[in-house]
Every structure is written in structure tokens, then in C-alpha cells.
Amino acid sequence: MHVDELETPVPVVDLDKLEANISRLQAYLDEHKIANRPHIKTHKISEIAKMQMDAGAIGITCQKVSEAEVMADAGFTDIFIPYNIIGEKKLARLMTLAKRINVSVTADSAFVVQGLSNAAQHAGLTLTVLVECDTGAERCGVQSPQEAADLARTITQSPNLHFGGLMTYPSANNLDDYVNETCGLLKKDNISIERVSGGGTPTMWNAHENKEVTEHRAGIYVYGDRLTMRPGAVTLDTCAFKVFTTVVSRPTVDRGILDAGSKSLSMDLHGLEGYGYICEYPEAKIYNLTEEHGHVDFSACEKKPEIGERVTIIPNHCCVVSNLFDEVVGARGSQVEVIWKVAARGTVT
Amino acid sequence: MHVDELETPVPVVDLDKLEANISRLQAYLDEHKIANRPHIKTHKISEIAKMQMDAGAIGITCQKVSEAEVMADAGFTDIFIPYNIIGEKKLARLMTLAKRINVSVTADSAFVVQGLSNAAQHAGLTLTVLVECDTGAERCGVQSPQEAADLARTITQSPNLHFGGLMTYPSANNLDDYVNETCGLLKKDNISIERVSGGGTPTMWNAHENKEVTEHRAGIYVYGDRLTMRPGAVTLDTCAFKVFTTVVSRPTVDRGILDAGSKSLSMDLHGLEGYGYICEYPEAKIYNLTEEHGHVDFSACEKKPEIGERVTIIPNHCCVVSNLFDEVVGARGSQVEVIWKVAARGTVT
């Protein structure tokens, strides 16, 4: 089937570009002897995760237990969940998972460590726990190498837990310093840092600059989007993920309305201007989204689209877009080759 | 089961409030002799649509053909799709639907009218088409009563189409004038305007002020959210929809991180400050969302939450939130009474 026969709105992945993106990052990380542990939250598709493993990844990263459950069901046996897992039921599910496959997690507080230790004792297994470090992103994470060392000691002393190293997101310039300082604080206790897990697509080509990093978790690199094009990590040419849409109204000379709104593109901005990039009309601006309508200002475009015309959009943030769709189309050139189920869509628990 | 046993993040509907919201709008519209045609894009749940029909709705509104297909499968027999439906496959699906149930649609251009007429001729049926009017929202819609009258004439003259009246969103103050002027222009052709369909939750309690309106399409009124609380159409007390979340990190004195991010709450802002209202900490500000993390500033709160504490959030825009989840919980007080499938989730074609 030709892609133009697909009903819109529909997310389409360029398979040639997808494969090249997977190979390119793997080659770079191989060259620098950094393990590749891709984050599958971007695509949530087991077939793409398998392509990443086949290329040389050592395992995958999932953000929630439910996401990891879907991937374990699909046959993946080494999953990192860099999240504070809290609550009796979630911990029970984590232990069920840890009995089936190789799982590691993170913690940034004694509260989380205590819960993991209790659950692991109850399940009769040993769980690997890394310390999440805030290296400037100001999300989760301990606030200093001193806090990291303290929590590492707590993990080491907690029954049925194994201290697995340090994790941060995104990898920051000061990561080596953070790791070395923590390492120094732990030396007298004979605690070693076996894994240093960095992450992020925007800074992926600089991963080797932090010599202490042992593995990298990138998610978006497989698809690409406007957020990762901004720092140049992905280019217009390497971007593999687009949403095909149709112009359904041209109420005024300058205004156009697309059949893709916030339920197809999401309202993620993160500092970008407009809600997506229209490939055929680069000067156009998607200035607003309502649920099923994309509001476009075509005033800056010399040629303007007709009603019924199809236009393709590079979304601002592909991860949240693929999470909106049950299926994603894979195309080779203009021919549909595969339709993938977004198996882990909606897995937020 | 007590709601506190639910794993977070999870959307929970207060059934008492839901029922009251459904009754309240129905009573108001009944009093003013305005037909109620609720928009089910907010909840996408057939059981709630049935509650709306049982309360007295004359039919339902869906935004896309695929959404209407799900509702037709669930037994609904009168569906309005106020959208420009374009493309061979979509039109074929629309005709299949129109053979099963009573369907009406809209158009704002001769292009759309032509497509509908061709499809209806091919299917051998008569389709009711209303003219979408832009009464100030600047989305789709013809730009003046003159254009509305012209398109009404085009519909009337198109084989297998029936001109059904005028539609706008949201209902504006000038709606009566727009309708009356269009009516005047059509009088000499003996074309009458049988339906005037207005819509929106923010202005729903003013629907009666436009005397020409024959039906009202409100969506959010069943749940309520911050967007509809802003103009006072919904209050904190009548809001029936909340997302239960857990505090998973307290990395600094003021910062808290929730287990609900943009894949649970969406990044819709529409001019609001922050990405949701935390009921237990009204002074807190959800200042950012990443995919699985809600970033909260608790500095303005005298008492601050502990790690592991559960907090409930009124989202900015409930329609896009319910579209993120496969299931929504219905609770009576603190007891779970029902778990609904969001049957029409992800129906964007």
C-alpha cells in the first residue's frame, strides 16, 4: 500500500532512517566502549526494541514497571527501570518481574530503598539498585556526591539489595566530577561503583566526554523530533518519525486547519515555537491545537495548501505522540511495509 | 476496594458528582427547551454516554468517524459528527455508518460538500449536512452569514444531501445575529434552518441567551477540569474527575516529584498556570511535566508532603487526559464501584 492511501492522522516511521539511526548510535557507543541500553519509552514497540538489541544493545530501559512487564512478555530479559518504585502492589509486581528476568532499578531516598529491601526479602531475591543523582536537571535524584555516597551505603547495608552504581538524566558536563567525588567517599567502605548510567538523545554524541560513563540510555534517537533537532543531535534528514495529516479547512486566506490536534500531536512545547514542523510548508506555523484540529498560519508561505491536501508533520516530542496511537506504520520509501502495535502504550503504573 | 488501594497514577470519577453533573445540565436545557446532544469526546466511555441518554439527551456528538463507529457499536443510534470529513476511505466508513444509524455531519467548504454528495450518491442514501459557522473562535467554519447562506444553497442543490442547519463552536454572544442574518438571506430560496447547534461547557449556563439555538453540545460538563473551572461553569465541588498520584521523590525542601507526568496529565495549558491543581496542596504549583514525572514546587505550602503520600490532581483539560488511559475508575465516596473501558480512546481518524 502507498502511504498516501493511509487514513490520516497516522504516525509513519521511515524504516531506512530508523535502521540507520539505530546503527549510527550503536557504532558510536561501540567505538567509545560505552554500553547501549536504549530507552524504549519513545516507541513502546517490541519489534523496534528487538532491532536495537540485534544491533548490539546490552539490554533495554523502561520507565515504569508496567512498561517493563510488556517488554518482558515480549521476550526481553534485561531491563533497567530508572524510577523510584513505591507502593505495595507495584513492589509486588516488580518482584514478580525480577523472578522472571534480570531487573535493575534506582532510588533517591532511604524511603524507596527500604521499600525495595522489604519487598526483595519477602520475595527471597536480591535486587540491584542504583542511586539516582541530580546532576543539574532538577527532577529526581540525590543532591550531592555526599548524599549519593550515603544512599549507596544504605543500599549496601539493606538486606537483599545490591548496590549497582549511579544513574543520572540527562548526562551532564559535570558527571565525571560527580562520580569521582562519590567514588572517593565510598573508597574507605570498599564500595565500588560498577555501573554509571547516563542518558538522553540531545547530548548523545557527547557521551564519550564523560569518561566514567559505562552505559548510555537514549530514547528519541530512533525516531527524532523537533526537540532533538534543536541541539542538532538529530537532523531533518535523519528524522524517521512523521505524522501524516490532511488539510480539512481553509477558512481564510492564511488559516488552515489540519485533522491532527492535541490528541494526535500533544501540546508539548518545551520552549519550542509552534506544535510541530510541517515538512511541505516549513514557513507555516502550527500556532494552536485543539483536540482534533491543528490550527496553522500559512501567511509566511508563498504557495498555500488546498483543502484535502496531505501534509506531514515532525512533532515536537515523538515519545508522547507515539503514546497516543495504538499502531504505528513502518514504510520503506512510499510503501507501507509493516504496521506495528504500540504494545506498551498507556503503561504509566 | 478502597480508592487508596488503586495503583497510581489512575483517573478516578466521583460517581455522585458525575450523576449530579449530568442531571444539572439536562434540567437546565430542559427548562429552556434546548435539546441536549452531549459531546462524548470528553469521556469516550459508552456507559457514561448511556447515562447521558437516559437523562434525556436526544443523541450524542462525536468528533471523528472512528469515535462514532465505537459508539454505534455500543448501541447509539443518533450521532452528530461536526467535522469536515475528507478522503475516500473515511467517506466510505461514514456511509457504512449512515446505513446503520442516524448520522449528521458538517461542512464549511464546497470541497467537503462535494465529497459528501459523491459518497452519499454512491451509497444510495441521503445525508444531513449542517454548515459550520465561525462565530469568533477562528477554527473551522464559514466566515460570514453570506458564506453560510451560499454553502447552505450548495448543500441543498447537491444530490443526496439534506441541509440540516447551522453549527458553531463555542456558542458566541453574536450567534443569534449570525443565524438571523443567514435565515434572511435564505428566505427567498425557501430554505429553512431546522437545527442550530451550539456547544461548549464554559458557556453552557448561558446557552438560553441565544434564542435561536435548538441544541447544545457540551462535553466537559460531566467531569469538569481547571479549564472549565476558570469561567465558573464548573466548581471545585462539582468537579468529578481527578487523577490519583503518588509523591515519589522529595529531592529538596521545596521540590516534590509525582508519578504522573505528561503521559498521564498532558501538557495542555491554554493560558492556565501550572499543569494541574493538587487538591491537598492548593498552594503547590505543578511547574513542569516530563513523561512520567510531575515536577511540583511546594514552597508556598506550609505543610509539605512526605515521600509515598498520595495526592489527587484536577487536570487542566480532562478530555485529553481520559484519552491517555485505557480505563477509568468510577468511585462512590472512597469505594471503587466500577472500572470503565475508555472504549473510544485513540479514535482520531
Q: Across the interface, do A139 and B112 touch by the CB < 8 Å criterion?
A: no
Inter-CA distances, B131 with B141, B191, B215, Å: 8, 13, 15
Low-confidence ranges of chain A (pLDDT < 70): none
CB-nearest to B349 from A7, A266, A269 is A7
Domain count, chain B: 2
- Give residue A193's pLDDT: 98
| Judgement on whether residues B51 and B156 belong to the same structural domain of the protein | yes
Residues 37-56 of B with CB under 8 A from A: 41
Mean pLDDT for the stretch of residues B168-192: 95
Determine the distance in angstroms separating the CA of A143 from the nearest CA of chain B, rounded to an integer. Answer: 7
Interface test with B, best of A69, A113, A253, A263 (most B CBs within 10 A): A263
**Domain identity same for B56 and B158:** yes
- Last residue of a domain, which of B203, B223, B243? B223
A136 touches chain B (CB under 8 A): no
pLDDT at residue A228, rounded to an integer: 98
Regarding whether B250 and B106 lie in a shared domain, the answer is: no
CA B298 to CA B79: how far, in whole Å? Answer: 45
Nearest by CB to residue A86, choosing from B111, B248, B323, is B248
Phi and psi at residue A66, to the nearest 5°? -65, -35
Asked if B255's CB is within 8 angstroms of A138's CB, the reply is: yes
CA distance A195 to A167: 8
Task: Point out the residue among B251, B259, B263 whose CB comes nearest to the CB of A134.
Answer: B251
Q: How far is B292 from chain A (nearest CA, A)?
A: 7
Could you say which of A222, A247, A264 is where a domain stops?
Answer: A222
* End position of a domain, from candidates B223, B244, B262: B223
In angstroms, rounded to a whole number, what is the distance separating the alpha carbons of residues A70 and A48?
Answer: 14
Check whether residue B38 and residue B122 sit in a common domain.
yes
What is the pLDDT at residue A59? 98
Same domain for B144 and B198? yes
Contact B307 A111 (CB under 8 A): yes
Q: Does B77 touch chain A (CB under 8 A)?
A: no
Q: If residue A81 lies in a helix (H) or strand (E), which one and from where to where?
A: strand A78-84
- How confident is the model over A154-201, as pLDDT tens digits? 999 999 999 999 999 999 988 999 999 999 999 999 999 999 999 999
The SS3 of residue A167 is: strand
**Pair A39, A131 in one domain:** yes
Contact B257 A320 (CB under 8 A): no
Is B131 near chain A, with CB under 8 Å? no
For residue A331, tell me if it sits in a domain: yes
Of B266, B267, B291, the CB nearest to A319: B291
Residue A259 lies in a domain: yes
Nearest to B251 among A111, A143, A259 (CB): A143
- Assess A114–B contact: CB distance below 8 Å, yes or no: no
Check residue B277 and give its pLDDT.
98
Looking at beta carbons, which residues of chain A come within 8 Å of B298? none
Q: Quick one: which of B49, B29, B25 has its CA closest to B214?
A: B29
Q: In the prediction, which pLDDT does A304 show?
A: 98
The CATH number of whichever domain residue A255 belongs to comes to 2.40.37.20
**How far does the CA of residue B212 sit from the closest CA of chain A (Å)?**
24
C-alpha R_g of chain A: 22
B10–A contact, CB cutoff 8 A: yes
Return the number of CB contacts < 8 Å for A and B.
167
Record: contact A139-B295, CB cut-off 8 A: yes
Query: What is the pLDDT, as a whole number, of residue B278?
Result: 98
Do B331 and B246 reside in the same domain of the chain? yes
What number is the ipTM of this complex? 0.97
Q: Are residues A215 and A307 in the same domain?
A: no
For residue B194, give how far its alpha carbon lies from the nearest alpha carbon of chain A (Å): 24
Grid coordinates representing A277? 514542523
Q: Are A292 and B7 in contact (CB < 8 Å)?
A: no
**B286 — pLDDT class (breaks 50, 70, 90):** very high
Query: Would B253 be classed as within a structural domain?
Result: yes
Q: Which residues of A touch B262 (CB under 8 A)?
A: 266, 268, 320
pLDDT value at residue A52: 98
When pLDDT is cut at 50, 70 and 90, the band that residue B257 belongs to is: very high
Contact at CB, B292 and A7, closer than 8 angstroms: no
In a domain? residue A325: yes
Among the partner residues B109, B262, B292, nearest to A64 by beta-carbon distance: B292
Residue B48: which pLDDT band, with cuts at 50, 70 and 90? very high
Residue A295 contacts B, CB cutoff 8 Å:
yes
Using CA coordinates, name the residue in chain A closest to B141: A251
Is residue B307, in this structure, part of any structural domain at all? yes
The reply to whether B263 and B299 lie within a common domain is yes
What range does the domain containing B53 cover?
A: 32-223
DSSP for A262-295, please give it.
HHHH----TT-SSS-EETT-TT-EEEEEETTEEE
Residue B14 lies in a domain: no
B7 contacts A89? CB cut-off 8 A: yes
Indicate which CATH number applies to the domain containing B141: 3.20.20.10
Report d(CA A180, CA B340) in Å as an integer: 51
- For residue B170, whether the previous peptide bond is cis, meaning omega lies within 30 degrees of 0, is yes
Is the Cβ pair A293, B140 closer than 8 Å? yes
Does A264 sit within 8 Å of B267, measured CB to CB?
no
Containing H/E element for A329? strand A327-332
| Cis omega (within 30 of 0) for bond into A11 | no
pLDDT in the model for residue A342: 98
pLDDT value at residue A224 = 98
Q: What is the pLDDT of residues B78-99, one digit of tens each?
A: 999 999 999 999 999 999 999 9
Examine residue A20 and state whether it is found in any structural domain, yes or no.
no
Lowest mean pLDDT among A329-333, B63-67, B172-176, B300-304: B172-176
Question: Looking at the partner chain, which of A84, A262, A263 has a beta carbon nearest the beta carbon of B248?
Answer: A84
Q: What's the pLDDT band for B235 if we cut at 50, 70, 90?
A: very high
Residues of B in contact with A348 (CB under 8 A): 9, 259-260, 263-264, 292, 324-325
B184 and B269 share one domain? no
Q: Which tens digit of pLDDT belongs to each residue from B122-151?
A: 999 999 999 999 999 999 999 999 999 999
Residue A336 touches partner B, C-beta closer than 8 Å: no
In a domain, A16, yes or no: no
DSSP secondary-structure letter at B101? S
Q: Do A249 and B63 touch (CB under 8 A)?
A: no
**pLDDT number for residue A99:** 98
Q: Find the radius of gyration of the CA atoms of chain B.
A: 22
Q: Minimal Cα–Cα distance from A171 to chain B, Å? A: 16
Q: Does the CB of B35 have a partner CB in chain A at under 8 Å?
A: no
Q: Is B110 near chain A, with CB under 8 Å?
A: no
B206 and B242 within one domain: no
Write down the pLDDT at residue B80. 98
Distance in Å, alpha carbon of B308 to nearest chain A alpha carbon: 7
Cβ-defined contacts of A74-80 (< 8 Å, 24+): A74/A46, A74/A49, A74/A50, A74/A343, A75/A46, A75/A50, A76/A46, A76/A49, A76/A101, A77/A101, A77/A102, A78/A102, A79/A103, A79/A104, A80/A37, A80/A104, A80/A105, A80/A197, A80/A217
Task: State which residue of chain A sits closest to B133, comparing Cα positions.
Answer: A251
Q: For chain B, say whether A168 makes contact (Cβ under 8 Å).
A: no
Residue B180 and residue B72 in one domain = yes
Please write the tens of the pLDDT for every residue from A223-264.
999 999 999 999 999 999 999 999 999 999 999 999 999 999
